[in-house]
Amino acid sequence: MGRPSAAAPRPRLTRDDVLDAQAVAELLHMPPSTVLDLARRAVIPGHKLGRRWIFLHDELEAGLRDAPSPIGPQTHHQPPAREAAGPPRRRSKRYPEAVPSRDQTAQTSLFS
């Protein structure tokens, strides 16, 4: 006896419907490592089968269509202005006293 046909039959997947990470990378113009990272973090829809990741074309298309658009009101964060004294000096972890602080360099002079 067979299965009851109460539910609508699911369409069969073809080779064109199933993509690997390399194919998705070419489609999205990014490295395959980035595609795999995005899939692990569930940013793009993917399915892990054993050690491989597969991606369904329809799910990718729907996910990309539903993704928020980067176009729109964007706020550009301005980094704080640097002091006029220049970049900060690096201090030695082993010999912190070897590099004088700015306060010390302002007080000392070669000709004092």
Q: Does any domain span residue 48?
A: yes
| Unique residue bearing structure tokens 């070419």 | 26
Q: Does any domain span residue 103?
A: no
Q: Does any domain span residue 57?
A: yes
- In this structure, what DSSP letter does residue 72 have? S
What is the domain range of residue 45? 18-66
- pLDDT of 6-44, one tens digit each? 667 777 888 888 999 999 999 999 999 999 999 999 999
HSE-CB of 99 using CA atoms within 13 angstroms = 10
Q: Does any domain span residue 87?
A: no
Q: Supply the pLDDT for residue 16.
A: 83
- pLDDT of 58-100, one tens digit each? 999 998 888 777 665 555 566 666 555 666 666 666 665 655 5
- In this structure, what DSSP letter does residue 4 have? -
Tell me how many domains the chain contains. Answer: 1
